[in-house]
Amino acid sequence: NAGVTQTPKFQVLKTGQSMTLQCAQDMNHEYMSWYRQDPGMGLRLIHYSVGAGITDQGEVPNGYNVSRSTTEDFPLRLLSAAPSQTSVYFCASSYSRDRGASPLHFGNGTRLTVT
């Protein structure tokens, strides 16, 4: 029972490079989301999805793209990395489309450094 699988665990990018953070869940969850976690701040929502083909912006969406072509996968794309995107990224899923109404299942995080 894999749960939420997030890759890679660590990544270093140069300013201007692009990359994709992968997230997959095997629990048939409708809801998936991406957060970033920075020192001294709570988790902040980047993008979320309530089902295949449906995505929406969170609090801090600038510089990131997402897509949800299948229920299982929700990749996060950094289009042109900037030092301000240095952070720890978490993917999360939950059973209910009713946001926040069921427990969240998190991936193990990706520590991204942009130089």
Residues that bind other proteins (CB under 8 A): 31, 33, 40-45, 48, 56-59, 90, 92, 98-109
Nearer to other proteins, 28 or 39 (CB): 39
Tell the smallest beta-carbon distance from residue 113 to other proteins (Å).
Answer: 15
Nearer to other proteins, 26 or 59 (CB): 59
- CA dist 112 and 108 (Å) reads 13
Nearer to other proteins, 14 or 41 (CB): 41
Q: Which contacts of 39-43 are long-range, i.e. CB under 8 A and separated by 24 or more positions? A: 43/90
β-pairing, 54-57 vs 44-51, is: antiparallel
Burial pattern 2-31, b for ≥16 Cβ within 10 A else e, equals eebebeeeebebeeeeeeebebbbeeebbb
Tell the smallest beta-carbon distance from residue 70 to other proteins (Å).
Answer: 20
Tell the smallest beta-carbon distance from residue 33 to other proteins (Å).
Answer: 6
CA dihedral 9, 21, 43, 3 (to 10 degrees): -70
Nearer to other proteins, 59 or 80 (CB): 59
Tell the smallest beta-carbon distance from residue 108 to other proteins (Å).
Answer: 4
